[in-house]
Chain A
Amino acid sequence: MSMVQLLQTNALPRRTTRLRGRMLPYLLSLPALLVCIAILVPFVTAAVYSLQRYRLNLPYLRGFIGVDNYIDFLSDPAFWNTLRISLVYTALTVVLELLLGLGIALLLRRPTRVHNAVSIVLLLPLMTAPAIAALMWKLMTNPSFGILSYLVSLFGVHDFKWASDPSSALFTVVLVDVWVYTPFIMILLLAGLRSLPRQPFEAAALDGVPASFVFFRITLPMLAPYIITASLFRLLDSIQQFDIIYAMTQGGPGDRLMVFQVQAYLEFFQYTNVGRSAALLMILWLITNILSNIFIKNWLRLRARAHGHA
């Protein structure tokens, strides 16, 4: 029971101090509120830009054009390419990271000293700046001296061009994404696995239930909320991926890796087309907003359960 809730049940404050008590939470959160507004203003501005013909190099052409920017996308192959690449990138990274993360979490499930040490060491890629991680992999995949290029050549694959070849560029950035973010899924799932109640597993072991049955019928369902939370987290980040792709190839080769934010960035700074850039971002926002609403609901439920109520 909170003070304000209680205070609010009183129709009329009887003393000024009570009024002050009621204002207190608002005063305390005022700075955070101002920050909120400070974010909302450019956000609304972006929404307005997306309805304008607005090019930085042609300011006199600026004007309201309704949803024309959006309608233009429908017939624009570049937009469909962006949408497709973004979705493929997201699907690939999330699925790979989920499978790998789950596998590693299962490997490290028992809290032995070695397992804990490994799980701590695996934090390091996650704590590396993604843009820097991209540079690291760029060095390792350099065609003239990159260790990875050398290693694949040992297997008879010569002249593998990694990110600079359209056919392997997506694979390369996905690899970097997997390297950086798999530990994230692993950590969440490991925490989930270790918080599962023991009894179902002990009972299953006593009854001699086969391991595959235990995994698919007990472990996975009980872990499901954690899996959903972790994947939604990654889904939201992945569909907005910018750092790795920009640092690695700036969207290239050609338009091979033109995901939403990279495309929007180039629209803005290279083609100075603010309206189009804003419209692209609004579409991305719409997608993430739908996803994040699902996510926040799910996450709050998990959090409430972790706190022992609901």
Chain B
Amino acid sequence: MDHSSLAGRIFRGVALALVLVFFMFPIVWILMMSFQTNEQILRIPPRILFEPTLANYQALISGHLRTTAGNLEISFMRNLMNSFVLSSAAVLLALLLGVPAAYAFARFKFRLGESIAFTLLSFRFAPPLLVLLPLSLYYQQLGLNDTYFGIVWVYQLIALPLILWIVRGYFEDISPDIEHAYRLAGHSWREAFTRIAVPLAGPGIAAAGLLSFIFCWNNFVFALILASADKQPVTVGALAFVTASGIQYGQIAAAIVLSVTPTLLLALYAQRYLVEGLSLGAVKG
């Protein structure tokens, strides 16, 4: 607690610098790698200063990779698009299902509601493979395997509990009198819900949506099991890409950068909601 002593301040400064280096270095290093040619990457000792190249990104965007084993067609951009499609669709679906349910849980105390909320919450902590492996067998029978519809349906299992618990807290913070006042002014509960409750919980809904988008985007195991190459998101695609492209390290780094950029930007944009969302609203004071 000694803020004033010089030794204390130096110690804190050094500790803070070490922390920053440990957590930031990998991101910075990979970013630098993505602008290097393979020759530059393989140079020993590594150099901080180099002549940047966009060749890796060009190759990824065009889909034509030149490797030592010959030319390779890899549709990493398709993985990127799949991530967008799957994550957005899952979040939209989860919002559509979750916001009304969150409203019901916040406004009405009913036993079924608590049961649903807790089932979903406890599945947040269940091993995902336990559900996924039998589901993949069912999906094969139903013909849902490797369809966007089928994958989205599973993806929104990531988003729904998060949305339920965060948005519920926001609805609970709205005074019921405000909705009563609107209804007494001659509006149905549906109008009170859409014109009063939803706009007032807007920031919470947006935060929950952004966060669940990030979590969907970052998911790996769901698509690994349910999606084949042309439906795979970047997380699975990047791993396949590593296997396929072998030693094209610059391109691997560029693929990694492209994979994480959207979520990292969203995270910085929505950072003030992250604490709440990460703890499912646990420490909201």
Q: How far is the CA of A282 from the CA of B189 in the complex (A)?
A: 44
| A190: nearest chain-B partner, CB-CB | B275
- The distance in angstroms between the C-alpha atoms of A292 and B161, with both chains bound, is 15
Query: Majority SS of interface residues in chain B?
Result: helix
> Residue A242 at the B interface, CB < 8 A?
yes
> Taking the nearest CB of chain A, how far is it from the CB of B258, in angstroms?
10
- A contact residues around B97 at 8 Å (CB): 31-32, 35
Stretch at the interface among B53-61, B66-74, B132-140, B201-209: B132-140
- Provide the residues of chain B in CB contact with A179, threshold 8 Å: 22-23, 26
Give Cα A242–Cα B133 distance, bound, in whole angstroms.
14
Check if A303 sits within 8 Å of B256, measured CB to CB: no
A137: interface (CB < 8 Å): yes
Query: A192 is contacted by which of B104, B118, B259, B283 (Cβ under 8 Å)?
Result: B283
B247 closest partner in A (C-beta): A144
Query: Would you call A80 an interface residue if the criterion is a C-beta within 8 Å of the partner chain's C-beta atoms?
Result: no
Which residues from A are CB-within-8-Å of B284?
303, 306-307
| A129 touches which of B137, B259, B268 (Cβ 8 Å) | B259
**B254 shortest CB reach to chain A, Å:** 11
With an 8 A cutoff between CB atoms, is B101 at the interface? yes
CA distance A118 to B16 in the complex (A): 9
Query: In the bound complex, do residue B278 and residue A184 qualify as a contact, i.e. CB atoms below 8 Å apart?
Result: yes
Chain A 266-304 interface mask (CB, 8 Å, partner B; 1/0): 001000001001100110110011011001100100110
Are A145's CB and B107's CB within 8 A? no
With A129-B259, A131-B220, A242-B221 in contact, is A123–B104 under 8 Å at CB? no
Query: In angstroms, how far is the closest chain A Cβ from the Cβ of B255?
Result: 9
> Is the beta-carbon distance between B118 and A296 smaller than 8 angstroms?
yes
Give the total of A residues in contact with B, Cβ under 8 Å. Answer: 100
Asked if A156 is at the interface of the complex by the 8 Å CB criterion, the answer is: no
With a CB–CB cut-off of 8 A, which chain A residues contact B125? 236, 288-289, 291-292, 295
Q: Does B194 contact A (CB under 8 A)?
A: no
Q: Does B184 interact with chain A (Cβ within 8 Å)? A: no
Is A25 on the interface with B (CB-CB < 8 A)?
yes
- Enumerate A110-156 residues with CB–CB distance to B below 8 Å: 110, 118, 120-133, 135-140, 142, 144-145, 147, 150
Bound-state CA distance A103–B116 (Å) is 38
Contact, CB under 8 Å: B238 / A33:
no
CB-CB under 8 A for A139 and B252, given A45-B138, A128-B218, A147-B46: yes
Taking CB atoms, residues of chain A closer than 8 Å to B41 are 145
Q: Which of A35, A192, A291 contacts B157 (CB 8 A)?
A: A35
Q: How far is the CA of A141 from the CA of B264 in the complex (A)?
A: 23
Residues of B within 8 A of A120 (CB): 268, 271
Out of B23, B44, B46, B218, name the residue touching A122 (CB < 8 Å): B23
Q: Give the chain A neighbours of B16 by CB distance below 8 A.
A: 107-108, 118
A247 and B220: CB pair below 8 A? yes
- State whether the Cβ of B77 lies closer than 8 Å to any Cβ in chain A: no
Who on chain A is nearest to B8 by CB? Answer: A211
Residues of chain A in range 35-50 having any CB-CB distance to chain B below 8 Å? 35-36, 38-43, 45-46, 49
Known: A124-B23, A145-B41, A260-B127. A211 touches B1 (CB 8 A): yes
Q: Are B119 and A265 in contact (CB under 8 A)?
A: no
A163 partner residues in chain B, CB cutoff 8 A: none
Say whether B256 contacts A135, CB under 8 Å: yes
Chain B hits for A68, CB < 8 A:
none
One digit per residue, 1 when the CB lies within 8 angstroms of any chain A CB and 0 when it does not, for chain B 208-225 equals 000000100111110011
Which A residue's beta carbon lies closest to that of B173? A307
The yes or no answer to B130 lying at the interface (CB within 8 A) is yes
Q: Is the CB of A144 within 8 A of B42?
A: yes
- B250-264 contacts to A, CB under 8 A, are 252-253, 256, 259-260, 263-264
| A104 engages B110 (CB within 8 Å) | no
Picked from B3, B15, B24, B44, the residue with its CB within 8 Å of the CB of A124 is B24
B interface residues with partner A (beta carbon < 8 Å): 1-3, 12, 15-16, 19-20, 22-24, 26-27, 29-30, 33, 41-46, 96-98, 100-101, 103-105, 107-110, 112-113, 116, 118-123, 125-135, 137-138, 153, 156-157, 160, 164, 189, 214, 217-221, 224-225, 234-236, 238-239, 242, 249, 252-253, 256, 259-260, 263-264, 266-268, 271, 274-275, 278-285
